[in-house]
Structure 1
């Protein structure tokens, strides 16, 4: 039987890079994709250190033609891991709708482009779709409105898609990491500029950033999150929703048992009220 193939998006750093390496170590043929393959240096170094091999290919998830072209070059696909994503820091009044659209293009429509292109191959192999969302796809978080909206959309789409795909033998799962110590957080950027432009929201944003620094001081490693994803590649009957750590499980449980929404509002409001003025 041919070695099973997994295609992973967003593998230049963080969870995607760690998942590509761990999947290869687990015996998978790995197609590791990224928008700009000139940024594959860290991945290739990690692959060499691990003593495994992977296939690096260009794939811009925001471009449906790029997705179709990349997938058309495969003769077999058993698992698609949608991992590519982009963060955003800010709030609606101080930002633009165009900023929100850009976040949706990567985090939501990017997932749709690649998944749509992959489904014919996955139906043939009776494979599976694994999409990395976030605890932010379950719990809306202050100053992450665009990011959480996109991740909520992904979760709703995949939750609706899962029973349909099951009728043709394709399993669908979402993976919800919490805080992960990776370049993803660094790449969000704009913290100083966001504070300068926050106007009346500056005290709340300052409190939120202080809380975030505490959360990421105890963040999970990319390798820890990747281990959960690789388990989903190999398990016979994967669950639909999986968190990557005890902290992520506890965090999402607040929402999943919160019938009237008050527990989430109490929790997230506490993140932005410290040292804020009522004036």
Structure 2
């Protein structure tokens, strides 16, 4: 009798994203992959490779329930769907930041709770996509970093709480990876990439608004295919609770162990905050 393939379900698998790259890597590793996204047509490339695709809107309870009902067993759940939001703390839209947390935090927990009965049966694995932004401060991206830090803490709690049931929990602290994440966000997001007229950063508007677009990261980072293959190897080994993969991940890991603020100067220079400070002080 043939041994059934291990099964993995991944959220947020639209073409060109990290979820899609991970679906391909795990498919090539011999797993049966359920690649999911809110819009199935955006997974056409995965379908062409023989990967099973399913509709899943992680912000919709009925959609989550419908997806669960289509699966009889599950070994690995990878919570990957997410979005970004850049804006100085002083100008953040609280309602929009709450929507970000709905996607980057609460949807992870909702999807996990829904699939937990299947994972209990298989003594399976939960993998939560966070970011090096959960430990490394990025000016003007505080809402995103806070959402990832929140999910990192939930992951740690899940790891301890679910261990008695034989479930493994792994957190992906992903660094800079070349994918469609920023491009897709810019196209789909209705959030402004410009400062409000009355922003306290108005004197340095050009520098700050350039940072808000994150254009400098669009073509930088590890190739998505390389990142995905590394992550696939790491999670299938299941020996470490935190996987650090992607450009600058190693640096962020070091920074997380050093005294608070040691990398402030480097971060300020990378985001142009040093120039912003010069302009603000000159105007003051």
- TM-score tier, shorter chain, comes to 0.7 to 0.9
* Counterpart residue number, 1:226: 228
Matched with 1:275 is 275
Measured after TM superposition, the shift of residue 105 of structure 1 is: 0.7
- How far off is 1:196 after superposition? 4.9
Q: Call closer, same or farther: CA 1:146–1:266 in 2, change over 3 Å.
A: same
**Structure 2 residue runs without a partner (length 5+):** none
- Per the TM alignment, residue 188 of structure 1 is displaced from its structure 2 partner at its CA by 2.7
- Of 15, 20, 40, the residue aligned with 1:17 is 20
Verify the 8 A CA contact 2:11 2:37 in the aligned structure 1.
Answer: yes
Alignment of 1:66-215 (within 5 A): 66-189=63-186, 193-197=192-196, 199-202=199-202, 203=204, 206=207, 209=210, 212-215=214-217
CA RMSD of aligned residues (A): 2.4
Deviation at 1:213, TM superposition (A): 4.5
Q: SS at 1:195's partner residue?
A: coil
* Aligned match of 1:50: none
Is the aligned partner of 1:252 residue 2:253?
yes
Alignment partner, residue 40 of structure 1: 43
Maintained 8 Å contact 2:140/2:211: no
- What does the per-residue CA deviation read over 1:199-237, in whole Å, with 9 as the maximum and x for residues that have no partner? 3325277268469555554311111221122113421x3
Inter-partner Cα distance in structure 1 for 2:128 and 2:165: 18
Alpha-carbon displacement from aligned partner over 1:27-53 (angstroms, at most 9, x marks no partner)? 1101010011122224334x2xxxxx2
Q: What is the distance in 1 between the residues matched to 2:191 and 2:164?
A: 49
Q: CA deviation at 1:264?
A: 4.0
Structure-2 change in CA distance of 1:155 and 1:244 (3 Å): same
Write the deviation string for residues 87-136 of structure 1: whole angstroms up to 9, x where unpaired.
11212332311110110011001111111112111111111011111111
Q: Which runs of 5+ in 1 are unaligned?
A: 48-52
- Runs of 4+ displaced beyond 6 Å: none
Q: Is the 8 A contact 2:59 2:107 kept in 1?
A: yes
